[in-house]
């Protein structure tokens, strides 16, 4: 499997031409990791932007995610094939189970086993999970082996540091991808983040992203504005001090943004 590029472009909530423009601009600026999902309704738009770019396929890392409605009835592989058609790709680099089966109606071993079969069939180079709790991660490890779990994509930002899941994943050697790394902009209003940003001549967004990157997470912020896309990408060059990191650690307050009714019982 290709190494997951630490900096990706998220596409949640981006539709149609807006999605095409965001991905196209991102690719122009140097993004090479694009994150989409079946439920976003934008796989075709993402595929269109990729096809219109001059970026070679082997330079790109494309992630999609299997929606909950496709976890049963042998739908995992068929739905991934549909995603590939929409994306205009022969295979993706990473496919994630987007959420555990609501109320655990279906066992993790069933749908993750089917996703592993999709990998064996060459539809995806790697597989992983998203929004998995420690209990779900244990089941996943038992089902397919820890070496098959390329990442657990979970909400992580200074206001929700998800420490229990992070600690367990690290103990097991499972990589983490931080989604909503700016908590829809809430993080940017934090005085601690603003003070650190001012000291570094950086933006609050760059500080929040650098905080995630320095902990070894991949980040997938999204934006529709060229200047924000460019500024976000340059966060990889920002180095925060131990004092900065310690100050940001104090912002943890369990402020979760993504918490739909079918979410698992969080750690």
Q: Does the active-site annotation cover 111?
A: no
End-to-end CA distance of the chain: 29
Helix (H/G/I), strand (E/B), else coil: 201? coil
**Cα gap 20→25, rounded to integer Å:** 8
Instruction: Catalytic residue, from 40, 111, 179, 217: name it.
Output: 40
SS3 249: helix
Q: Cα–Cα distance between 51 and 86 in angstroms, integer?
A: 12
DSSP state of 130: E
Distance CA(34)–CA(87), nearest Å, equals 11
Coil, strand or helix at 73: coil
How many whole angstroms separate alpha carbon 267 and alpha carbon 265? 7
The Cα angle at residue 151 between residues 266 and 9, in degrees rounded to 5: 100
Q: Which residues are catalytic?
A: 40
């Amino acid at each position: 499997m290709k190494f997951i590029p630490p900096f990706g472009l998220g596409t949640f909530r981006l539709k149609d031409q807006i999605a095409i423009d965001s991905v196209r601009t991102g690719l122009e600026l140097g993004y090479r990791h694009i994150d989409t999902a079946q439920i976003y309704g934008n796989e075709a738009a993402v595929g269109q932007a990729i096809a219109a770019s001059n970026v070679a396929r082997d330079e790109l890392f494309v992630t999609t995610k299997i929606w909950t409605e496709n976890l049963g009835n042998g739908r995992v592989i068929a739905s991934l094939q549909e995603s590939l058609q929409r994306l205009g790709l022969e295979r993706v680099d990473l496919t994630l189970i987007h959420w555990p089966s609501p109320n655990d109606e279906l066992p993790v071993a069933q749908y993750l086993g089917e996703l592993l079969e999709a990998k064996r069939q060459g539809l995806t180079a790697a597989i992983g999970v998203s929004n998995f709790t420690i209990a779900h991660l244990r089941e996943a490890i038992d089902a397919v082996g820890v070496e098959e779990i390329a990442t657990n994509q979970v909400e992580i930002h200074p206001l929700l540091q998800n420490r229990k899941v992070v600690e367990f994943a690290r103990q097991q050697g499972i990589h983490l991808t931080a989604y909503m790394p700016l908590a829809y902009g809430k993080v940017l209003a934090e005085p601690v983040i603003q003070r650190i940003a001012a000291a570094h001549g950086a933006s609050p967004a760059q500080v929040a992203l650098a905080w995630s990157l320095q902990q070894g997470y991949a980040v997938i912020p999204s934006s529709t504005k060229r200047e924000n896309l460019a500024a976000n990408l340059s966060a990889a060059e920002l180095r925060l001090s131990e004092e900065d990191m310690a100050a940001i650690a104090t912002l943890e307050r369990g402020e979760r943004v993504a918490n739909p009714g079918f979410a698992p019982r969080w750690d």
